[in-house]
Amino acid sequence: MKVSVQWLRELVATDLPVKELAHRLTMAGLEVEEIHPVAGDFTGIVVGHVKTVNPHPDADKLRVTEVDAGTGELLTIVCGAPNVAAGQKVPCAVIGARLAPGADRKPFEIRKARLRGVESNGMLCSARELGLSDDHGGLLVLDDGAPVGQDVRQLLALDDTYLTLKLTPNRGDCLSMLGIARDAAAVLNAKLLAP
């Protein structure tokens, strides 16, 4: 069972640090196996609105896009994602943005670059590049109502941690957020804020 700490805090009046909360739940019989952030450690990723998509003059698999990232001017960004299309709203890493550490364990900072002769002023991101999943098949397409220029961490509520609980078959009451919240409220002697 995966439990959102942010959601749990909406249901139980507590401000305990995550590790202490996990320890208290484990000691009460709800074994916390893992503690993970919801998303990778990234900054400077905003909602970008893809205005135009054109073929790259010197590369078959690359596209040259113009993107409104809320900076006041359109950014030219070279993109290799197969699903990029005009009209989409996608995560856009602007110059100076930092992506989560990759396999080499070093953070990746976005800079101006020339890709096959075309200057690129940022990067359009997939869910994998944000540390949300292993899917690297294309860009993460956001809702049409997402405000251009808004921080993606804020938009998608990614400043959260989830706990993975190892539940035994006799704890069917803990197969929901409200069930976990009831136990947490009892363990922490806190008020349950049931909907």
Task: Tell me how far the alpha carbon of residue 54 is from its chain's centroid.
Answer: 28
Tell me: the pLDDT tens digits for 28-69? 999 999 999 888 788 899 999 999 998 888 877 889 999 999
**Residue 151: strand pairing partners:** 46
Q: CB count, 10 Å around CB of 179?
A: 16
pLDDT digits (tens, 9 = 90+) for 101-125: 765 557 788 888 888 877 889 999 9
Q: Residue 182's pLDDT band (boundaries 50, 70, 90)?
A: very high
**Could you tell me if 127 and 139 are in contact, meaning their C-beta atoms sit under 8 angstroms apart?**
no
In percent, how much of the chain has pLDDT > 70?
97
Please give the pLDDT value at position 77: 92
Please report how many Cα atoms fall inside a 13 Å half-sphere around the Cα of residue 112, on the Cβ side: 5
Which class for 18: exposed (0-12), middle (13-18), buried (19 or more C-beta within 10 A)?
middle
Percent of the chain with pLDDT over 90: 56
Mean pLDDT of the chain: 89
If one compares 136 and 78, the residue with the highest pLDDT of the two is 78
Give the type of residue at 88: Q
Give the helix, strand, coil percentages of the chain, each rounded to 5. Answer: 20, 35, 45
CA–CA separation, 19 and 193 (whole Å): 22
Distance from the Cα of residue 88 to its chain's centroid: 18
Question: φ, ψ for residue 13 (rounded to 5)?
Answer: -75, 90
Q: Which of 133-137, 140-144, 152-156 has the lowest mean pLDDT?
A: 133-137
Q: Using the 8-state DSSP alphabet, how is residue 72 labeled?
A: S
Residue 157: what pLDDT? 87
